[in-house]
Amino acid sequence: MVPILLGTCFIIFVLFNMVAGDPTQLLLGKHATAKQMLELKRELGLDRPFFAQYLDIVKSAFTFDFGRSWSTKQEIIEMIKIGAMPSLTVSIPAFILSTIVSIAVSLIVSFFRGGKLDRIMVFACVAMMSISSLAYILFAQKFLAYELGLFEISGYEPGFPYFIPYILLPVLIWVVLNLGPDVRFYRTIILDEIYQDYVRTARAKGLSEKMILFKHVLKNAMIPIITYVVIQIPFLILGALLIESFFGIPGLGGITLNAINSSDFPVIRAMTVLSAVAYIIFSVITDVLYTLVDPRVRLK
C-alpha cells in the first residue's frame, strides 16, 4: 500500500504542479504582472522546492491535513466533514439499492437465459447505457417532480428524517443509471459460472435449476461480484457531481465542482488524494474478503 500511495502522490504532484500550468495566472487573470504573480506564489507556498511540495501531498495522504481553500479560506478537512454527510445520505442508499436490484435482475434473466426476457433485458441495458445521465436528471425533474409532483425538485434539509424527501429522486436516478452496466456485468459472470463442470454435475444429481442458480452459482460468482461492488465504495465518498449539482445537495460533489469552476487547486487535490487513499484501502479489503467466500484463497 505504501509504495502505491507514494507513487500515486507523485502522479498527483506532477498533474497539479507541472501539467496544470501556473495557478497564479489562473487566479489573477491574464493581465497580472510578474510581481503580483511572485507575491501570490510566495503567499500560497508555490515558490518552495518541488520536493517540499511533493512531501506536502504525501503528508496530507497520511494525516488528511489538506490546508486551506484558496477561494473560501476554509480548512479543507472541515469542508469535507460538512459535505460528507449529504453525499453519503444519497450515495449509500442508492448504492445498496442499486446492487440488490441489479443482482436480483441478473439472476432472473440468467434463469431465463436465451429467452425473450433475457434478450429484452440485454437490449434495455444497452439502450439505458446509451442515454446521457443528464437526460435522466432533466426528465425526472421535469415530469416526475415538476409535472406530477411526486418528488422534490431540488434542495436538501439536514437531519433525519428531514432529508428523505429530497434524496428519493436522486436515489432513483442513481439506481436507473447503474442498472444497465451492473446487470450486464452480473449477468455475464453468472452465465460464465453456469457453464462450469460443477453445474453439469449438480444437474446430473437432480438438483433443481433454481437451487443450482441461487445456491451454487451465486456463491461461486461472489469473487468478481465482491471485486465489482467493493471497488465502487471509494467513489461513493465523493458523491455524484451531476446529481448533487442539479438537485442542490451540498455534498462533496458540489464542493468539487465549485473548486473546478474557481480553479481551487488545493480542494481538487484534496479530493483526488482522498479518493486515491480510499481506493487503495478498499482494494486491500477486497483481497481480504476473497478468503471469506472462497476457501481456496489464503492470506500469506
Domain shared by 6 and 98, yes or no: no
Count of domains for the chain: 2
Same domain, 52 and 182: no
| Angle at 121 (CA atoms; ends 115, 127), nearest 5 degrees | 140
> Strand pairing partners for 75?
68
- Looking at the fold, whether 158 and 42 belong to one and the same domain comes out as no
Work out the angle at residue 245's Cα, subtended by the Cα atoms of residues 240 and 249, and round it to the nearest 5 degrees. 80
Q: Are both 106 and 233 inside the same structural domain?
A: yes
pLDDT at residue 263, rounded to an integer: 78
Mean pLDDT per segment of 10 residues, for the chain of length 300 residues? Answer: 88 78 69 76 79 89 88 88 88 91 89 86 89 89 90 87 90 90 90 85 84 82 86 74 85 84 85 88 85 72
Peptide bond into 3 cis (omega under 30): no
Tell whether 243 is covered by a domain: yes
Residues 156 and 18 in one domain: no
Q: What is the pLDDT of residue 238?
A: 64
Residues of the domain holding 37: 2-63
Domain assignment present for residue 78? The answer is no
Both 104 and 174 in a single domain?
yes
pTM of the model: 0.82
Give CA–CA dist 118/105, Å, rounded.
10
In a domain, 278, yes or no: yes
| pLDDT at residue number 288 | 83
CATH number (domain holding residue 204): 1.10.3720.10
Looking at the fold, whether 119 and 237 belong to one and the same domain comes out as: yes
- Residue 239 pLDDT: 61
Kindly state whether residues 42 and 138 are assigned to the same domain. no
Residues 114, 35 within the same domain: no
